[in-house]
Chains A and B, each alone.
Chain A
Amino acid sequence: MGESVLSTIVSVRGAARTYEQGSLQVHALRGVDLDIEAGEFSALMGPSGSGKTTLLNLIGGLDTPTAGSVSVDGLDVSSMDRTRRSDLRRERIGFIFQSYNLVPVLTAQENTEFVLMLQGVPAAERAQRARETLAAVGLQGMEDRKPGELSGGQQQRVAVARAIATRPAVVLADEPTANLDSETKAALIDLMRSLNEEQGVTFLFSTHDPDVIAAARRVVTLRDGRIASDERR
């Protein structure tokens, strides 16, 4: 995926998401407006149930809004079917999950190559790009290890490598430091920050972590499904 020519990568307009739980209606998001510009290093914060993960899921095309619209890199996610949303995620979005979520039967190299393979990148090129990306996240020499043979911090680095190897328009990270010790966490934050500053990768986190929030250049606070504050630093 090439870099976006638009400066606004993510545009959320009046997005609402309501879930049916039996006879109850749960309003996870109640009309959110948000723009994410290229090159931002932003954090979504707020208490549990405030709508952070729901908003991230809508932006990532994992879910669709019940009202309003979400567009990524100029494409309207809310009107897409499953397959097109799948294509959008593959071509334009990188994901980092709280519990790494690597494919256990694949090596670090293969996990990093996985999305490139789905994109149809030729084998030699994707192998080269995966090696370079793993080196960039400090995992040179560990390419052939499977997730079970890596520490939590190393697994999360592989997850970061998988997310950025495709050069996506935006990387969405859901509580990426939640399972890491403080030393590993600090190293991971430094890594993502340097990828942002040196390679221009756009990051959007959902987090409770004060260290991530401190590192972010923009902090959007959600409360009860609405944006309570939007602070740029």
Chain B
Amino acid sequence: MLVSMALRNLLRRPVQSLIACAAIAAGLTSTIWMTNFQDGNWIGLLDDSMRAAAGHVVVQPKGYQDSQDAELLLEDSGAIADQLRALEPDGLVLRRAFVQGLVASSTNTVGIAVNAVEPELEREVSELPAKLVEGAWLEDKKQIVIGRELARKLEVGIKDKVVLTISSGGQIVGLPFRVAGIFASGSSRLDSFFAVAPLSKVQGLMPGRNDPATQVALQLPSYEAPKDLVDRVRAAVGDGPEVLTWREVIAEAVKAAELDKGFAAVIWAILAIVVSVGVTNLLLMSLFQRTRELGVMLAIGMRPVDVGKLLLAEGAILGVVGAIAGFALGTLLTIPMAKYGVDLAVMQSSAPVSNVAIDTVMKSHFMWGKSLIWTAWFMSLAVLASLWPAVRAGRLEPVEALRAT
């Protein structure tokens, strides 16, 4: 009967009750949409970044993380890769060298950043093979894949020859490559200066070095790596190189994700305040209007705590109805965003991750568990917001309440 009474009391003020429910529903809808969109994007971005620019664990020359000096190189990178493969047989070990220099065609010369990779292994983790608009991915030959904007500047097409020149050990060294593929990543910045070439051939630009690479990255099939992985890798490779987690390697992206989540937390706090104030206000108004009625209930033997429970039940009903509506609406709005997403290619030039081809179609990632937790939290919020009116109702003195008009 208590729940039935609570429901009927809310229906006595249908407009106010509807407004309170709508506030809860709107707050939850926004939260579900926002968190699923945000999580989906950051998971995608960090995953792309982690896989394309790093790995779960990265071995690189000591000091490289701070200086980003292309002259700092690991020696004997194949042996390090073998050590990592022995450590995690299910993992994928990738060697990469990041070099900067000039690329020249028969008509033009422009600055370039080259990611030298093992083509077949990199194909498994990079977004670039899927972004090719002309030609094909690399084979282990003197081939290069360049951005569309870069191809336009160089006035080259597939199979055309370009010469890559870098400074290595104080010498200027150049090697010819043929254009195997042209990509359009969605980022005009990336498309205008970035290229990928086979590591084995780029190593030819580094005379005097023994199987050099900038990093050896270990990627595991799971999203999260075991906690002791870094320690085991350190033990395996010794003190020479630095061993970092992907969070440390792409610290800027991780920091941006955390900042974005912090911003979302502020928005959520504002939503929570608006929802709480709405519910508290409705129930306090109801309490003032029903003081005499509650006094009668106390007079005929309802315990003060049960009078409080009646108000809590009213808050809980508002919470349940509002949260169900909010969950349904939030889910409905998230589904198209999860399926189709929105292409934010034009904004990618401001993305915090350098030299990484990320998927520019931003999609939501609908997480049932998280959305249900938010739903439960908004229900709880309505109950919490009714605590104060409930306590006040429980403190009513029947004699005084009966005198209320």
B299 and A60 contacting across the interface, CB-CB below 8 Å:
yes
**What is the minimal beta-carbon distance from B294 to any residue of chain A, in angstroms?**
10
Question: Of A43-51, A96-104, A134-142, A191-199, which stretch is located at the interface?
Answer: A96-104
Verify A97–B402 contact, CB threshold 8 A: yes
B301 touching A115, Cβ below 8 Å: yes
The listed residue (A57, A87, A97, A103) touching B301 by CB distance below 8 A is: A87
Tell me the bound Cα distance from A103 to B305 in angstroms: 18
B12 surroundings in chain A (CB, below 8 A): 104-105
CA separation between A123 and B402, bound complex, in Å? 28
Contact with A along B291-319 (1 / 0, CB 8 A): 01100111111111110000000000000
**Choice from A60, A63, A86 contacting B302 with Cβ under 8 Å:** A86
Contacts of A104 in B (CB 8 A): 12, 293
A83 CA to B302 CA in the complex, in Å? 9
Q: Which of B8, B293, B302, B399 contacts A62 (CB 8 A)?
A: B399
CB distance B300 to A57 under 8 Å?
A: no
How near does chain B come to A61, taking the closest CB pair, in angstroms?
Answer: 9
Known: A83-B303, A87-B303. A103 touches B399 (CB 8 A): no
Assess whether A103 is in contact with B297, with CB atoms less than 8 Å apart.
yes
Q: Which of B9, B293, B299, B402 contacts A89 (CB 8 A)?
A: B299
The reply to whether B298 and A86 form a contact with Cβ atoms under 8 Å apart is yes
Please measure, in the bound complex, the distance between the C-alpha atom of A200 and the C-alpha atom of B306, giving whole angstroms.
31
What distance in Å separates the Cβ of B20 from its nearest Cβ neighbour in chain A? 18
Is B5 in contact with A82, judged by CB distance below 8 angstroms?
no
| Chain A residues positioned under 8 Å from B1 (CB to CB) | 110, 113-114, 117
Closest to B292 in A: A101
B44 within 8 A of A: no
Instruction: Report B17 CB to chain A, min CB distance, Å.
Output: 13
Assess whether A24 is interfacial by the CB under 8 Å rule.
no
Q: Looking across the interface, which residue of chain A has its beta carbon closest to that of B305?
A: A83
Cross-interface CB contact of A86 among B8, B303, B402, cutoff 8 Å: B303
CB-CB < 8 A to B303: which residues of A?
Answer: 83, 86-87, 90, 118
* B299 close to A82 (CB less than 8 A): no
* Cα separation A89 to B303 with both chains bound (whole Å): 10
Partner of B399, one of A63, A106, A114: A63
The answer for the CA separation of A91 and B399 in the assembled complex, in Å, is 19
Question: CB distance A62 to B299 under 8 Å?
Answer: yes
> Is chain B's interface secondary structure helix, strand, loop, or mixed overall?
helix
- In the bound complex, how far is the Cα of B302 from the Cα of A162, in angstroms? 13
Does B398 interact with chain A (Cβ within 8 Å)?
yes
For the complex, give the distance between the alpha carbons of A79 and B398 in Å.
17
Q: What residue of chain A has the Cβ atom nearest to residue B10's Cβ?
A: A105
Q: How far is the CA of A176 from the CA of B167 in the complex (A)?
A: 105
Which residues of B are found within 8 Å of A57, using beta-carbon distances? 399
B296, A101: Cβ atoms under 8 Å?
A: yes
Chain A residue with minimal CB distance to B294?
Answer: A103
A95 within 8 Å of B by Cβ? yes
Count of B residues near A, CB < 8 Å? 21
Closest-CB distance, A32 to chain B (whole angstroms): 17
CB within 8 Å of B: which A176-231 residues: none
Closest chain-A Cβ to B301's Cβ sits at a distance in Å of: 2
> Could you tell me the distance between the alpha carbons of A103 and B2 in the complex, rounded to whole angstroms?
12
Contacts of B297 in A (CB 8 A): 103, 114
How far is the CB of A90 from the nearest CB of chain B, in Å?
2
Residues of chain A within 8 A of B300, CB atoms compared? 89-90, 95, 114-115, 118, 162
A105-B5 contact, Cβ under 8 Å, with A60-B299, A97-B402:
yes
A114 to B301, alpha carbons, bound, how many Å?
10
Which residues of B are found within 8 Å of A63, using beta-carbon distances?
A: 399
- Alpha-carbon separation in the docked complex, A60 to B398 (Å): 11
Query: Are B298 and A103 neighbours in the complex by a CB distance under 8 Å?
Result: no
* Chain A residue contacts of B306, Cβ below 8 A: 118
**Restricting to A104-159, which residues have a CB under 8 Å from any CB of B?**
104-106, 110, 113-115, 117-119
Cross-chain contact B293 with A95 (CB below 8 angstroms): no
For B402, list chain A residues within 8 Å (CB).
Answer: 62, 97, 101
Q: What residue in chain B is nearest A110 (Cβ atoms)?
A: B1
CA distance in complex: A70, B399 (Å)? 17
Nearest-Cβ distance from residue B390 to partner chain A, whole angstroms? 16
A101-B292, A101-B296, A117-B1 given; A82·B304 CB < 8 A = yes
Assess A103 versus B299: contact at CB under 8 Å? Given A97-B402, A110-B1.
no
- 1/0 contact trace for B386-405 toward A, CB 8 Å? 00000000000011001000
Bound-state CA distance A82–B399 (Å) is 12
A95-B398 Cα distance, complex, nearest whole Å: 13
Give bound CA distance, A50 to B398, whole Å.
21
In the assembly, what is the distance between CA of A89 and CA of B302, in Å? 9
Contact of B9 among A105, A110, A114, A117 (CB under 8 A): A105
- The 6 lowest CB-CB distance pairs between A and B, nearest first, are A90-B301, A105-B8, A101-B296, A89-B301, A62-B399, A86-B303
* Interface, chain A (partner B; CB < 8 A): 57, 60, 62-63, 82-83, 86-87, 89-91, 93, 95, 97, 101-106, 110, 113-115, 117-119, 162
Q: Can you list 17 contacts pairing A with B, beta carbon distance less than 8 Å? A: A62-B299, A62-B398, A62-B402, A83-B305, A86-B298, A89-B301, A90-B300, A90-B302, A91-B301, A101-B293, A101-B299, A103-B296, A105-B5, A105-B12, A114-B297, A115-B300, A119-B301
**Beyond A106-B5, A115-B301, 12 additional pairs, beta carbon < 8 A:** A86-B304, A89-B300, A93-B301, A97-B402, A101-B296, A101-B299, A103-B293, A105-B12, A114-B297, A114-B300, A118-B301, A162-B300
